[in-house]
Amino acid sequence: MRKGLTLRPAEPEDAPQAAALFYSTGPAAFNLAFGSQDKAISIIRRLFAKPGNPMSFEHTTVAELKGQVIGILTVTDRTIKARTQPQMGAELLRICGPASLLFRLPIHLRLQRLTRLAQDGELCVEDIAVSPQVRGKGIGRLLMQEAEHLARRKSYTLISLYVLRDNLPAIDFYHRLGYVCDEEKTDCWLARRYGFRGFLRMVKPTEQVADKFQ
């Protein structure tokens, strides 16, 4: 572990730093959903700081170095998603307003259909990101190990995640950690109209998680 690096549960006060990291996990998807980078980061920041939705600090671990949040890991499962999705819709309506949300509703629905609800016994890595300044130093691997250890402790049988199909460095990273592509998720309308290429769903059985990492 990097000297001075700590992993801790996220807090609402982490929202300004965490929001930019969240956005970096899928700019193309967030821009489609919310219209622009600035709008997306602002909305993510407000969602992160509020409990009861899938993007809340409640479900996030942060990597902190010298008082700065330089990495995030957000995990959910079927129960969490089922409990928090209605609140997510209510929060987006409050933040965006009915007119804006209705205008982008077809995009929201199509994006949501591309990332199916986790199954029983499945831990989903919703978001993982590391600041560009510290990438390549093992922090992403450390966060993924945190998710895998959680999956073992909580007796999940599968770990899953979605990654943008054109995010080749991330796909290679997950392959090196033992994740394999389980499914390709695309939407013809989003691809034709916006050039959005969709996601890969990647998975790793928890039985393949080592008791101790090398």
- Residue 213 domain flag: no
- Residue 214 domain flag: no
- Residue 187 domain flag: yes
The CATH number of residue 91's host domain is 3.40.630.30
Q: Which domain holds residue 74?
A: 5-208
Q: Report the first-to-last Cα separation within the chain, whole angstroms.
A: 12
- Residue 198 domain flag: yes
- Residue 202 domain flag: yes
Q: Give CA–CA dist 46/193, Å, rounded.
A: 29
56: left (phi over 0), alpha (psi -120 to 50) or beta: beta
User: Tokens at residue 91, please?
Assistant: 């929060």
- Residue 89 domain flag: yes
Q: How many CB atoms lie within 10 A of CB 187?
A: 18
Q: Give CA–CA dist 201/48, Å, rounded.
A: 24
Per the structure, the count of domains in the chain is 1
> Given this model, what pLDDT does residue 214 score?
43
User: Per residue of the chain (214 residues), what is the pLDDT tens digit?
Assistant: 467 899 999 999 999 999 999 999 999 999 999 999 999 999 999 999 999 988 999 999 999 998 999 999 999 999 998 888 888 888 888 888 888 888 888 998 899 889 877 889 999 999 999 999 998 899 999 999 999 999 999 999 999 999 999 999 999 999 999 999 999 999 999 999 999 999 999 999 999 887 544 4
Q: Give CA–CA dist 64/17, Å, rounded.
A: 11
User: Tokens at residue 21, please?
Assistant: 């990291």
